[in-house]
Chain A
Amino acid sequence: MATVTVPEEKKIDSTPAAPEESKPKTITLRISRSNPSENLETKFDEFKVPVQKWTTVLEAILYVKSNLDHSVAVRYSCRQASCGSCGMKINGKPRLACYTKISELDSNVITIEPMNNFPIIRDLAVNFDQLISTHKKMKPYIINEESEVQPGTKEFIQTPKDLEKFLQFSYCIKCGLCNSACPTMATDESFIGPQGLAQAYRYTADNRDQGKKDRLKIVDQSHGIWRCHFAGSCSNVCPKGVDPAMAIQLLRGYLLGFRK
């Protein structure tokens, strides 16, 4: 029979300390404005925005859209770092706007620009076509001749240890921050990029998958995995702990014969 230990009763202070008061302050939001379909000019518009210590950059941008200038173009959706829509360059570094609090930036002037290495649609919204098409090229699905859905076939059993080999890489939300920070992506438009390479590893490391040979062939080309030089910038900016740099080095281990 299971025994449950009941914690000792603690005296509750009848006069709890008042929550720390958040002093509202005003910051300057510098938003990059451009519309490449009309001209190649880029300018910065400045907005004064009241913020609390919990205000996120996305909330500040939405304040601008609601109250100061509704024409600012920004892509966002979930507001909780799950959809990967609101990636942008905040004070020089790619971050998710919904996941970055103004207070953590330690500055009264916040400069917001569209992510580098992605074509600009307008203002802060960038085009994800290349990222999505590269992702698809990595065959991001289980390749296995047998199928769990076919009657008479066994289920694919996976131990927690098997799962751990790829779990963190499956948390990728395709926000593109890693591709934006990558030094190779800065100049090499044909490079697969950390996002695609990490996904190639995610499926290759899955013990249900039989597509390792195909994927290794895809990444082992002149603008493939070898154009990564382990600068680690992708992992430095990843908001989900995917650690693309680790995935790329582990994937390379297969090609160098260190992994089977």
Chain B
Amino acid sequence: MAERLSNREGIKGMANPTRYGMERFAYWLQRISGLGLLAYLIGHIYETSTILHGKAAWDSMLSLTETPGGHLVLVLVIGMCVFHTGNGIRLMISEGGKGVGKPGQPEYPYRALSLNSKQRLCIWVSIALAALAMMYGAGVLFGD
């Protein structure tokens, strides 16, 4: 009701990565990967705690995670980790005011300098590095 009255887009609008270009897509990926990594961190801390219950408990936990499904999750985590890092460094530098262009007289058709090719390149490089790391990770995990 309140959302209807204020006409806010809500979570659906916030989480929609399909409009407004590459930067909005990177924003969405950064959020998703951040949430995924936090979930993994909690799970990882729980799984490693089983070592306190001895070798049998550790081995039984490993038998649960050392499966094709478990490896697939790990490959995804590697991808999220690399993208979140690469894009996060881009954001940190940009949020300090670097690489977002220099203010000046805007000229028609008024393309925003902050949405420049360097920014997009960094996003693509983060995606590419994530893909490469996932491939390498898959090779190690499934190759064993």
Q: Do A and B interact directly, with beta carbons closer than 8 Å?
A: yes
B110 near A252 with CB under 8 A, answer: no
Nearest-neighbor residue (CB-CB) of A201 within chain B: B103
CB-CB contacts below 8 Å: B83-99 with A: 91, 94-98
Residue from A164, A165, A186, A243 within 8 A of B10 (CB atoms): A186
Residue from A126, A245, A250 within 8 A of B115 (CB atoms): A245
Number of A-B residue pairs with CB-CB distance less than 8 Å in the complex they form = 154
Complex CA–CA separation, A232 to B101 (angstroms): 13
Residue from A36, A183, A246, A253 within 8 A of B114 (CB atoms): A246
A246 near B113 with CB under 8 A, answer: yes
- Which residues of B sit under 8 angstroms from A186, Cβ to Cβ? 8-11, 13-14
B24 near A183 with CB under 8 A, answer: yes
- Which residues of A sit under 8 angstroms from B106, Cβ to Cβ? 168, 171, 240-243
Complex CA–CA separation, A165 to B26 (angstroms): 28
B104 near A236 with CB under 8 A, answer: no
User: A236-B112, A243-B112, A249-B94 are known contacts. Are A167 and B10 too (CB-CB below 8 A)?
Assistant: no
Nearest-neighbor residue (CB-CB) of A250 within chain B: B97
| From B4, B8, B98, B107, residue with most partner A Cβ within 10 Å | B8
Q: Interface 1/0s, chain A 223-260, versus B by CB < 8 A?
A: 00000011111011111111101110110110010110
Complex CA–CA separation, A239 to B110 (angstroms): 7
A232 near B20 with CB under 8 A, answer: yes
- Which residues of B sit under 8 angstroms from A114, Cβ to Cβ? 7
A75 → chain B closest CB, angstroms: 15
Residue from B6, B100, B108 within 8 A of A249 (CB atoms): B100
User: A116-B8, A240-B106 are known contacts. Are A231 and B97 too (CB-CB below 8 A)?
Assistant: no
Q: Interface 1/0s, chain B 7-33, versus A by CB < 8 A?
A: 111110110000111011011001100
A184 near B100 with CB under 8 A, answer: no
Asked if B5 is at the interface (CB within 8 A of a chain A CB), the reply is yes
Residue from A230, A237, A258 within 8 A of B91 (CB atoms): A230
Asked if B105 is at the interface (CB within 8 A of a chain A CB), the reply is yes
CB-CB contacts below 8 Å: A122-175 with B: 126, 164-169, 171
B91 near A181 with CB under 8 A, answer: no
Residue from B9, B114, B119 within 8 A of A243 (CB atoms): B114
Q: Interface 1/0s, chain A 2-38, versus B by CB < 8 A?
A: 0000000000000000000000000000000000100
Residue from B100, B107, B111 within 8 A of A245 (CB atoms): B100
- Which residues of A sit under 8 angstroms from B31, Cβ to Cβ? 229
Complex CA–CA separation, A168 to B107 (angstroms): 10
- Which residues of B sit under 8 angstroms from A183, Cβ to Cβ? 13-14, 24, 27
B7 near A126 with CB under 8 A, answer: yes
- Which residues of B sit under 8 angstroms from A36, Cβ to Cβ? 4-5
Residue from A185, A235, A250 within 8 A of B8 (CB atoms): A185
Nearest-neighbor residue (CB-CB) of B96 within chain A: A258
- Which residues of B sit under 8 angstroms from A230, Cβ to Cβ? 23, 27, 91, 94-95, 114
* A-B pairs with beta carbons under 8 Å apart, 21 shown: A119-B5, A120-B5, A120-B7, A167-B103, A167-B105, A181-B20, A185-B8, A186-B9, A230-B114, A232-B24, A232-B119, A238-B112, A241-B112, A243-B106, A245-B115, A246-B103, A246-B112, A246-B114, A253-B98, A256-B96, A256-B97
Closest 9 CB pairs of A and B: A241-B106, A253-B97, A241-B110, A232-B23, A235-B112, A231-B27, A246-B114, A233-B20, A186-B9
Contacts A230-B27, A240-B106 known; 13 new A-B pairs at CB < 8 A? A117-B6, A117-B8, A166-B103, A169-B103, A186-B8, A186-B14, A205-B103, A231-B20, A232-B24, A236-B20, A243-B103, A247-B103, A253-B98
* B contacts, CB < 8 Å to A: 1, 4-11, 13-14, 19-21, 23-24, 26-27, 30-31, 91, 94-98, 100-101, 103-108, 110-115, 119
